[in-house]
Amino acid sequence: MGQMITMSINLHLFIIGATILLALYNVYASYSLKDETKYINRMKYIQPQYLSLVTAVMFTGITVMAVNHFVIKPSLILMIIAVLIIYFTSTKMHMIRKNAHTNDMAEMNYFRGFVKKKYLGDVALIVLVGVVSFMI
């Protein structure tokens, strides 16, 4: 049983690491891609991958929780709140992306700014939740 708990936690941490890397790549793309059409198309295909990784984090978290007999701890509540914030901001980003036209620079600048803040905020939130979870 101990090996299953260890494996579940390691898989959970590995997927969290992949999520952080993809979020940092999105921030990098926001700074490096200057062509608006290429940028919007890149975000259109990366966003579902990012949400798939967040969903995988949730699934592995539920697996870890099941192995621990569904014990509710303050760190678990913090993790659930963090995932809800990530999903809410992702939905808002999707709505902004759908309304942004590549020939309107004001809309594109707003979208790029939101993407940078969203993904840097997601990385900070994930790291903060991880640090607090290991401290509790």
Q: Write the CB contacts of 61 (distance below 8 Å, at least 6 apart in sequence).
A: 12, 79
How far apart CA 98 and CA 94 sit, in angstroms, is 6
Instruction: Categorize the per-residue pLDDT at 5 as very low, low, confident or very high, splitting at 50, 70 and 90.
Output: confident
Share of the chain above pLDDT 90, in %: 46
Tens of pLDDT, residue by residue over 32-91, are 888 888 888 888 888 899 999 999 999 988 888 888 788 888 888 999 999 999 999 999
Is the per-residue pLDDT at 102 higher than 80?
Answer: no
Model pLDDT for residues 15-30, shown as the tens digit of each residue: 999 999 999 999 998 8
Distant-in-sequence, close-in-space partners of 8: CB < 8 Å, separation ≥ 6:
60, 63, 64, 67
pLDDT of residue 117: 95
Residue 119 scores a pLDDT above 90: yes
How far is it, in rounded angstroms, from Cα 82 to Cα 101? 30
Give the global pTM: 0.87
Does residue 95 have a pLDDT over 80?
yes
